[in-house]
Amino acid sequence: MINGRVVDRYANNLAALRNFTGDGFRTRHDAVKLTVVDAARTCSVGAAAEVLNLFSAQLGAAQRAAFVRDNSYRKRQSYVPDILLNFPPPDTPQDPMLEVKSITPCSVWYPTTGQHADTPFWGVNRRAAQVPNECYKKAHKVDVQYAGSPNTNLPADRGPVEQAMRAMEGPIPAVFGAYGETNKEFIHILAKLAATGARTQWRQMLFKTEEIALGVFTWRVRRQVGMAILRANAILKRSRMLLMLGLPTDTAQSREAASRFRVWGRNGRGDIAAGYRQAQARHNA
């Protein structure tokens, strides 16, 4: 029981709790984000995560310095899309931006009554529809606070950061759900990754045709990302149950081991190996 509520059979309400310690939502988000980056690179598509300086050229030096001074590293990450892709020719020359989001198993995204109760993928597609405007609002906020743009919704008053973001392809929402489902844009971008991998690698992988390679790449990309989503959701539930039992999560244990490594094992002699062994022993205890 937590907050006066009994945990349900599959711990869905436990996974949906907000403002819960343990950093579980960020860990789940980053696991899927980095898997998409890895899948893209496997398919000969350039990919970068958290491109912090993507729009920095739109601000002056003093404005950039004020932005960095007023915002922590993690907060600055929230102002740029999660992934920037670079497809090889002859694909579109623009680099599409992806914004990874997730939804939790609650009535907001999985209604049990009403007209959308039986609509497949309704929750992830509804969340995906909100993502572009959220990103534009963040860019508008930067323009208002640091570029001196008017705080209006008129297209003529858009600042340099918002204009630069709108000029690029995206942000494309990549939303995954509590049961492994994804929105339609996410499916389309994975299909494009697979098509690029098949087109660029089918000869060196000794496939007879590009069409045969496409089937293999499609299966591999969707399996890789799908399993990462299922694993990340399972780890989130596991971490919440550990916190309920008063036990440290995997994230907390890794953070503690890293902190002990950074302080040289606390033995005062700068012995990295001894500090690492102590941290590992405590982590595995």
For residue 208, how many C-alpha atoms fall within 13 Å in the half-sphere facing its CB? 1
Share of the chain above pLDDT 90, in %: 43
CB 84 within 8 A of CB 48: yes
Alpha helices, DSSP H, located in the chain = 12-15, 24-42, 61-70, 73-77, 122-142, 160-167, 184-201, 210-244, 250-262, 272-284
* pLDDT at residue 267, as a whole number: 45
pLDDT at residue 276 is higher than 60? no
Q: Can you state the angle between helices 24-42 and 184-201, rounded to 10 degrees? A: 30
pLDDT at residue 263 is higher than 80? no
Which two structure tokens, joined as six digits, stand for 180? 């492994």
Q: Give the chain's end-to-end CA distance (angstroms, integer).
A: 28
* pLDDT at residue 78, as a whole number: 77
Residues whose CB falls within 8 Å of the CB of residue 67, separated by 6 or more in sequence, listed in order? 59, 76, 142, 145, 146
Q: 201-229: per-residue pLDDT in tens?
A: 999 999 999 999 999 999 999 999 999 99
pLDDT at residue 260 is higher than 80? no
Report d(CA 228, CA 27) in Å as an integer.
Answer: 12
Query: Residues 177-215, buried b or exposed e (16+ Cβ, 10 A)?
Result: bbeebbbebbeebbebbbbbbbbbbbeeeebeeeeebbe
Q: Which residue has the higher pLDDT, 40 or 16?
A: 40
Average pLDDT over residues 103-117: 89
* pLDDT at residue 102, as a whole number: 93
Question: What residues does each domain of the chain span?
Answer: 12-247, 248-285
Report d(CA 278, CA 52) in Å as an integer.
Answer: 35
Beta bridge partners of 277: none
Q: Which residue has the higher pLDDT, 67 or 19?
A: 67
* Environment class of 161 (CB within 10 Å of its CB; exposed 0-12, middle 13-18, buried 19+): buried
Angle (CA) 216 218 221, round 5°: 105
CB 50 within 8 A of CB 77: yes
Report d(CA 15, CA 24) in Å as an integer.
Answer: 9
Q: 131-140: per-residue pLDDT in tens?
A: 999 999 999 9
The reply to whether the predicted model has a pTM over 0.85 is no
